Structure 1
Amino acid sequence: MGKTEIIVTIILFNLFFILFLIGIVVFIKQYKLKKKEHEDKLQHQQREHQQELLTTQLEIQTQTMQYIGREIHDNIGQKLTLASLYTQQLAYENKAPHINESIENISTIINDSLSELRQLSKSLTDDSIEQNPIAELLEEECKKINELKKCSVHFLYIPKIELQSYQIKSILLRITQEFLQNSIKHSNCKNIKVTFKKNNGFIELQLEDDGKGFDTIKMQSNGIGLLNMKKRAEIIGGTYVFESSIDKGTKLTIKIPH
């Protein structure tokens, strides 16, 4: 074999080796790309599955509450009404004053229980989340907290933000309720600000108090309420940003594509 042939052989060998290396690199890149696509697909399917589970759960929960509410109204409520009428009849027919007083006390207890059950029945069968705009639901929660006179809740919103999804409205309302309750119980705050607006293609719910705050790192291990709010936000495709520091209050921001 001549010198030229050796050189050509070495060049061809190096060329094939380089092509072999390029093939390996291309194969690895394609493998990683397909792996990422597969993982993204699995994550997408998981999110869809979670959304379907949540929707089903909410539907079952709503139907169950409505069923219990109707049973309270139609069954237990009617029996208590009948018991109240019996006690009134006994009080009318009985001539002993000391017994009449006991009967009247029983009647009062029955009527109070009946009133409370009717309130419970009404709340269980209430479909206000489905029928009312989300801004009105949030505003009503703020009014309820203001009526407690423990702190001042300020509600700021841009009118006419339309949300048709019961699921999204329900989750935003529950997150707001939990934040408000936590602030009242734990933060010693004087003011809470609830802001609901549309910003750059997102619906943004911002909850903020001026309370004592806390160390978020220490709370990560046992903050079940915070974890629940985060999961709820993620299920409806939202981003969740929670900020708090000692003596500087607490702030929660939820953003949902819209």
Structure 2
Amino acid sequence: MGETSFKIMLIIFNVIFIAFIGAIVVFIREYHRKKKAYIEQIKTIDILHKKELLKTQMEIQVQTMKSIGREIHDNVGQKLTLSSLYLQQLVYESKAPEIIDSIKNINIIINESLEDLRHLSKSLTDDTIENNTIFELIENECKKISNLKKCKISFKSDSQIKPVSYRKKSILLRISQEFIQNSIKHASCEKIDISLYENEGKLHLKLQDDGKGFDVENLKTNGIGIKNMKKRTEMIDGIFNLESNIKNGTKLTVVIPI
């Protein structure tokens, strides 16, 4: 009877011990699961925070640029115009030839400065991105490059592309400009091909040149331009894929949700 009781107690002890070990294992697994979920949550919050921060920065930047542009036009521009009128009046009133020549030279400088300020004011207050489609923005950029005759550039696009937000248009345009400038300055390319189309609710932007290419893995050589393009793409939930080989050109594909 004593031996039977001992066996029963041993069995009960083993069961309790196994249950205890099992509980510890479950607890550890649950702890790691919750820890992982917490880390993922922190990462998600951080990403959302960065996106909101970028959005806010862009909105502030746009408003600041417009404010500066209006200030240049309304204040600085008006003062220079008034100065130019005063100098013209002095030309009529002065009888000394050397003074007249000096005044005319000063007036020329003021008028050139006024013209530069007008261009700057227009660029800062320009609503081009807001008032045009992404198709029109990239097409206009291609026309500018074609007029420079630096290289041949072709642009193909689906005319039925759905409208995208100002933020996405701005980022896609900046990426296109960055790629084009890099291709012309660093790749010594002769041709750039750009295509833009919509597929399954996503917008695909493809840019390709026939330049000398580079080692994609060597980020030090790539510089901050490519890193900035990648970061911008990620900020609008896009996919960034860069392909390049020495002497075989470079291809960039950006895919974003519409």
Q: TM-score, normalised by structure 1?
A: 0.90
Matches within 5 A, 1:13-92: 14-92=14-92
Q: Which amino acid aligns with 1:193?
A: D
Q: Which amino acid aligns with 2:39?
A: E
Conservation of the 8 A alpha-carbon contact between 1:133 and 1:162: no
Quick one: structure 1 residues 116 and 30, their matched pair in 2 at CA, closer, same or farther if it must change by over 3 Å?
Answer: same
Stretch deviating more after TM superposition (175-184 or 20-29): 20-29
Conservation of the 8 A alpha-carbon contact between 1:69 and 1:122: yes
Stretch deviating more after TM superposition (102-111 or 151-160): 102-111
State how many pairs are aligned. Answer: 258
Matches within 5 A, 1:134-149: 134-149=134-149
Q: Which residue in 2 is equivalent to 1:185?
A: 185
Conservation of the 8 A alpha-carbon contact between 2:216 and 2:222: no
Q: Which amino acid aligns with 2:68?
A: I
Matches within 5 A, 1:92-111: 92-111=92-111
1:64 CA displacement: 1.1
SS at match of 1:223: helix
Distance in 2 (CA, whole Å) between partners of 1:163 and 1:20 is 60
Identity of aligned residues (%): 57
Q: Which amino acid aligns with 1:125?
A: T
SS at match of 1:187: coil
What RMSD, in angstroms, separates the aligned Cα atoms of the two structures?
2.2
Distance in 2 (CA, whole Å) between partners of 1:238 and 1:195 is 17
Stretch deviating more after TM superposition (21-30 or 236-245): 21-30
Q: Which amino acid aligns with 2:32?
A: K
1:62 CA displacement: 0.9
Q: Which amino acid aligns with 1:28?
A: I
Distance in 1 (CA, whole Å) between partners of 2:32 and 2:157 is 45
1:146 CA displacement: 1.3
Distance in 2 (CA, whole Å) between partners of 1:159 and 1:4 is 87
Q: Which residue in 2 is equivalent to 1:124?
A: 124
Q: TM-score, normalised by structure 2?
A: 0.90
Quick one: structure 1 residues 202 and 29, their matched pair in 2 at CA, closer, same or farther if it must change by over 3 Å?
Answer: farther
1:17 CA displacement: 4.7
Quick one: structure 1 residues 222 and 180, their matched pair in 2 at CA, closer, same or farther if it must change by over 3 Å?
Answer: closer
SS at match of 1:216: coil
Conservation of the 8 A alpha-carbon contact between 1:210 and 1:250: yes
